[in-house]
A and B are shown apart, each in its own frame.
Chain A
Amino acid sequence: MIVAKRKPLEQIEAMLEGFEKILIVGCGTCVAVCMAGGEKEVELLAAELRMRSKLQGRPRTIDEMTVTRQCDKEYLDQLAKYVADYDAILSTGCGAGVQFLAERYDDKIVLPALNTLFIGVAEGPGVWSQRCTACSECILDQTGGICPMTICAKNLLNGPCGGTNHGKCEVDGQKDCAWTLIYRRLEKLGRLDLLEKIQPPKNYGAMTKPGRFTHEAFQQAEHREE
């Protein structure tokens, strides 16, 4: 899941300066689960902004609408009949959602209400941690299901560096050393032999931005049309 957090209210207010009719568009997928931009969070943000504008004596209309996903055109189309009435759209989607919304309604000002953090998991109520860097070439089969590309500060693929310190990382003493975790996991699984295998140099070219991908099933369809 993509994890994000809301920008400070002051920053959102600064972006909204001068707009009188604002539509807040929520996203009901990842950011709803990480309690940053779902229907409930949109309600809270809208209530806060409405109260602020009344406290400051500036009349402002703030409406709310939450779509299932902001990264699919079909869901953004649902907003078509409303957006014309607004001066600005404040999106509580992740960075991808904000951009897709801005692309779909390119005559409108679309503003981000969140800072997108990472692809991660829920460690407990209200706590998330990063697990994947989207490196395009997964090697979790070799590392006991622990990603050195994400957990290791140096992205090392062939064992720890000299800075591993009793299972902690030299970069940040609070963080675990990925390779200690991997060793312990492989030991538990009885697969320490995997450590003897040398990982070839990583193809960082596969991580070149911006990524684009067409599903094979659809590649064939494109081919037939030509």
Chain B
Amino acid sequence: MSEAKPAAPFEPKVVAYCCTYCAYTAGDLAGSMRLEYAPNVRVVKILCTGKIDAILLLRAFEDGADAVYVAGCALGDCHFQEGNLRAIQTVAYAKKLLAETGLEPERLEFFHVPASAGPLFAQRADEMTDRARKLGPNPLRGTARQPAGGKLAREPDPHPPLPPAKLGKLVRATER
């Protein structure tokens, strides 16, 4: 990357994986309360933070995000009992992977944002954007679009375990 000063000041791109039951609802509430928060945050609604996988977090950075956070329910409040606990573990693991890769682990964080906490949602969004500003742009942003390989498409199995059924197909009562 060139050392020349960019014409426009650096605007971080922040990805927020938000649980639909708490953080996303809190985001809605923040909107209803007319709270102002950093427009840099891109909210990705997920059914439960337990769904978050380390690869989703790494891909966001690979694609040039400057900071990523996962916002889940308060401890003990997960709609699916333990999704947020799993997410805390996943985020901690992904931080280790980031450090190993050579990116600052501080670019990634987990927050508890209960559904009633509209102001907290705004505060966390600002906090993470500020953090990304301090850390500077993700060094991968410039090369995010350069191809560097990926998953090879798998050939269809020439010997599938079961051939398509010709006889004995199920027919609905109405079609009979």
Contacts and interface: CB of A to CB of B under 8 A. Distances in A.
Interface of A: 9, 22-23, 40, 43-44, 46-48, 50-56, 59-65, 78, 82
Contacts of B139: 54-55
A55 B151 contact: no
A63 B102 contact: no
A47 B59 contact: yes
A47 B56 CA distance: 10
A55 B148 CA distance: 12
B149 A82 contact: no
Contacts of A50: 62, 148-149
Contacts of B53: 40
Contacts of B58: 44, 47-48, 51
A56 to B, nearest CB: 8
Given A43-B151, A46-B149, A47-B59, A54 B143 contact: yes
Contacts of B55: 40, 43-44, 47
Nearest to B97: A48
Given A22-B149, A53-B148, A65-B151, 17 more contacts: A9-B101, A40-B53, A40-B55, A43-B151, A48-B97, A50-B148, A51-B61, A51-B101, A54-B140, A54-B143, A59-B148, A62-B149, A64-B149, A64-B150, A64-B151, A64-B152, A65-B154
Interface in B118-160: 139-140, 143, 146-152, 154-155
Contacts of B154: 65
B172 to A, nearest CB: 35
B54 interface: yes
Given A40-B55, A44-B97, A78 B152 contact: no
B121 to A, nearest CB: 29
Contacts of A62: 148-149
B54 A44 contact: yes
B139 to A, nearest CB: 6
A6 to B, nearest CB: 10
Contact of A55 (B103, B152, B155): B103
A206 to B, nearest CB: 35
Interface residues of B, number: 24
B100 A9 contact: yes
Nearest to A55: B102
The winner among B58, B146, B152 for most chain A CB atoms within 10 A is: B152
Given A40-B55, A78-B155, A51 B149 contact: no
B137 to A, nearest CB: 13
Nearest to B157: A78
26 contacts: A9-B101, A22-B149, A23-B152, A43-B151, A44-B54, A44-B55, A44-B97, A46-B150, A46-B151, A47-B58, A47-B62, A50-B62, A50-B148, A51-B61, A51-B140, A53-B148, A54-B143, A54-B148, A55-B140, A61-B149, A62-B149, A63-B150, A64-B151, A64-B152, A65-B151, A82-B152
Given A40-B53, A40-B55, A44-B55, A51 B152 contact: no
B148 A48 contact: no
Per CB-CB distance, the 5 closest pairs between chain A and chain B, nearest first, are: A61-B149, A62-B149, A63-B149, A50-B148, A47-B58
A46 B150 CA distance: 8
Nearest to A22: B149
